Amino acid sequence: MKILARWFLLAAALLLVTQLYPGVEVRSFGSALLAALVLGLLNAVVRPVLTLLTLPITLLTLGLFLFVINALMFYFAANLLDGLNVSGFGAALIGSILYTVLGVVIEAALDRLFERK
């Protein structure tokens, strides 16, 4: 149940990102659901490999290069999907930061809501 709630809330967060920043566009809630799924899969499969491969530059930049990796995942998801449009790499960077912040808030809320006693 928590996974479905997280998926729907992350799709809603993606729609909120489109309202907060005009460089990111999502056509519909269905497109947002698909985009949230693709972003989750990319972050689970591709992001760890990229993080490992770019570990030296990540250490040199004191972890700031992870923002670039997040933006690349966001930009790549937009290139894969028709319903998600990002106007450029800068838009992907800002959109990924907003989406990440909203994801952290959603995860904290769901942890409190579904905590076991």
Would the pTM count as exceeding 0.75? yes
pLDDT of amino acid 33? 95
Residues 6 or more apart in contact with residue 83 via CB below 8 angstroms: 26, 27, 28, 30, 31, 32, 34, 35
| 65 pLDDT above the threshold of 80 | yes
Give CA torsion, residues 34, 17, 62, 49, to 10 deg: 10
Rg from Cα positions in the chain: 14
In tens, the pLDDT along 72-114 reads 999 999 999 999 999 999 999 999 999 999 999 999 999 998 8
